[in-house]
Amino acid sequence: MDNMPDFLKLQNIEKQVDDLCSFLHDEIVEKFHKNGAIVGLSGGIDSTVTLALCAKALGSKKILGLTMFEKESDQNNKYLVDKISKTYDIEIQNVDITPILDSFGVYSNREKIVRYRFPNFNSNCKYRVVVPPNLNSVGIPYLEILDDRDEQHKIKISSSDFLSLTAATSIKHRVRMTLLYYYGEKNNLSVVGTTNKSEYLQGYFVKYGDGGSDIEPLVNLYKSQIYQIGSFFNVHQDIMTSDASPDVWSYRTTDEEFFYTVPYDIVDLILYARENKLSISEINKLSDLSEEKIQNLLRFQDIKQQKTQHMRELPHQWKSNFI
């Protein structure tokens, strides 16, 4: 993050962190009347920074970290959580959600589609869904398989296949949310979310999944700024440099590959530009991007924000004329 533009740099970061901690303390203690906070730990920068903020705000003894890995989780993320446990003096509980996901048919329903599209699929193969960029509309997703001989296969899938695969995958997020509330409620803890502004504005979260929480301390901070707070807290370098990933497929994929199509610094630049109504020429001066690329990225983010607007709204209610 050394190349971060000045307009994305947090000013007086110590005060910003103190303000965030005051917000967390007031919400959890004064408004929710809870004993502390629970945070779902993935091994990524967002959940680590959230954990650090909660520990600073409330004290480490009032924080519970919950990991909810499963058989398709990246082993590296488990290693990163070990780094967190050695840094913060908090209780961490681990729940293997594989049996729960199995009971929902998450694996079998997805693999039924994969096997139909790739008959040679077996337990030694890995797979993921990739959504390539299409700057005029939503890109046409495809299935990517790494077979048991380490050969890659890109396979077209139908929109019905894509919806079925992602619907089953979203169950992973919703199971984790359910467990966070179970452990939170039985210990009288507030569920603290980890969604940042870059994800929130583009709908890169699951409604009633990782989007379900009592408090969202990071939702007004761009991903680039989360790394700044991570540096402030001396978050382990392995976490700071690890590629952000949804970690929902057996074949590892990054956030850039699966959703954003460009690095986070470009995502944040375009989001900032849209929010502050910068002209294309102004964006051009702030970056090495061509005007055509900027126009395409602006259009692409517009489409994503429009299509996910419902995710940022409360359930729509019918209003009776008789009330």
pLDDT recorded at residue 80: 92
Determine the Cα–Cα distance for residues 255 and 249; give it in Å rounded to an integer: 12
pLDDT at residue 63 is higher than 70: yes
Q: 210-267 pLDDT, tens per residue?
A: 999 999 999 999 999 999 999 999 999 999 999 888 899 999 888 777 777 778 888 8
Is-above-0.85 flag for pTM?
yes
pLDDT recorded at residue 241: 92
Q: Which strand (E) or helix (H) includes residue 106? A: helix 106-117
Among residues 159, 121, 167, which one has the least CA distance to residue 141? 159
pLDDT recorded at residue 95: 98
Q: 265-320 pLDDT, tens per residue?
A: 888 999 999 999 999 999 998 888 899 989 989 988 898 899 999 999 999 999 88
pLDDT recorded at residue 138: 53
pLDDT recorded at residue 77: 92
Domain 6-102+166-309: CATH superfamily is HUPs (3.40.50.620)
Domains of the chain, by residue range, sit at: 6-102+166-309, 104-165
Q: 83-97 pLDDT, tens per residue?
A: 888 888 899 999 999
Q: 13-31 pLDDT, tens per residue?
A: 999 999 999 999 999 999 9
User: CA of 289: how far to CAs of 67, 189, 282, 284, 286, in Å?
Assistant: 39, 45, 11, 6, 9
In a 10 Å sphere around its CB, with 0-12 CB exposed, 13-18 middle and 19+ buried, how is residue 35 labelled? middle
Determine the Cα–Cα distance for residues 47 and 274; give it in Å rounded to an integer: 27
